[in-house]
Amino acid sequence: MSDTSTALAALPADLRDAHDILASGAAQILPADGLAERLSAARREDRPLRVKLGIDPSGTDLTLGHAVVLRKLRQFQDLGHTAVLVVGGFTGQVGDPSGRTATRAAQSADDVVANARGYFDQVMRILDRDRTEVVNNADWLGVMSLADILGYTRQVTVAQLLERDDFARRFGANQPISLSEFVYPLLQGIDSVEIRADIELGGTDQTFNNLVGRELQRSRGQAPQAVLTVPLLVGTDGVEKMGKSLGNYVAIAEPAAEQFGKLMSVPDEVVGTYARLCTDLHPRDVDELAAEVAAGGAGANRAKRRMAREVVALYHGVEEAAAAEQRFDAVFRRHEVPRDVPEHALGADDPAHLPAVLVAAGLAASSSEARRAVDAGAVKIDGTPVPKRGYDLARAELVGRVLTNGKRRAARLI
């Protein structure tokens, strides 16, 4: 019997169920029995676990890809544990080298604070504020003496650092690695000591940094944290990692209808992954949903719809999710002109230059993209395609009409 099986067998039924929920969708748990051991310790000591997530905000727009680890953190909260968000007020100025092929540009302290403001508005759409502690590692790292730092450096060797995949690649390619990048994992590990973390969460690119925290805690007489990593979420194309630069993302602040439409576009083979990583469904329900998709036919469509509703409901509520599904059906099934769309005020130009209108209304990213959409027949006015090269239209022909670009982007012109 493995260490994990032995540890699980020793847990009472409710903790085994909690373990199943928390382990579902995890890329790795280190050590293998670490989560079970920490859950058991919390029960024995009659206290909540302190579950750490370090964040160095470099931007303010969060996608479902960013939300995967936050949703896992929320699962811990729903089971009664405490989320500890460590804002990188100090480490953000150093720059995390994880997954990098060159030294990351450092942020100023003001940059970190400014990004954090917008970041937290979205983070708290996911986390429970009452079970969240927010701390800034500048509070301890910024005042730590050089002697203190050197004391910690004795716990990590250069050989260990060079075993990291990203460092090993850069070292082998004779690419520079700054000393500050070597120090970064150490600083992240010190955070675990300072907050007395029981569990640290992160993406798969954070495994090395998180394991350094275990070693530093052990050296300071603390019980070493367990490490739980989550996989990187594939984008709506079903191929590449979700990212804004690739356009294959779903932002958590997007309107409900936009989210639902994008989620209905994902390939069937990743519906189960989205259900497991992006919703609050119990692992048993996810398994059933994935089986429906694998069976194909009408059941696969029902399963995809359920996944999309569950995701949208997390960020907009059940009623908005249902309305988004109805709008999707009106546009995609019945090919109706959407009614509940944002309004956009036309300028005074007559005739109106349609590519400029599309950009101003947020229906196209650029005039060149808008012209291509017009020429491809994707731009419609009240459901009627605009003729190829029909770039300039009388203003009177647009007022009060619904302008669409594709199936999901629409505005009523006023």
Residue ranges for the known binding site for ATP are 244
Beta strand 28-30 with 132-136 is: unpaired
CB 208 within 8 A of CB 164: yes
Enter the tokens of residue 233: 């979420």
Q: Residues comprising the binding site? A: 244
Q: What are phi and psi of 137, to 5 degrees?
A: -70, -10
CA distance 218 to 198: 12
- Report which DSSP code applies to 359: H
CA distance 254 to 342: 13
DSSP-based three-state secondary structure for 93 = helix
**What are the strands, taking DSSP E only, across 266-370?**
343-344, 352-353
**132, containing H or E segment:** strand 132-136
- Of residues 55, 298, 375, the one with CA closest to residue 200: 55
CB 136 within 8 A of CB 85: no
CA distance 182 to 2: 35
- Of residues 84, 78, 187, 81, the one with CA closest to residue 134: 84
Q: What is the largest CA-CA distance in the chain?
A: 78
> Any bridge partners for residue 220, and if so which?
none
CA distance 197 to 133: 12
Residue given tokens 């594709």 in the structure block: 406
CA distance 248 to 400: 32
Q: Other C-beta atoms within 10 Å of 93: how many?
A: 18
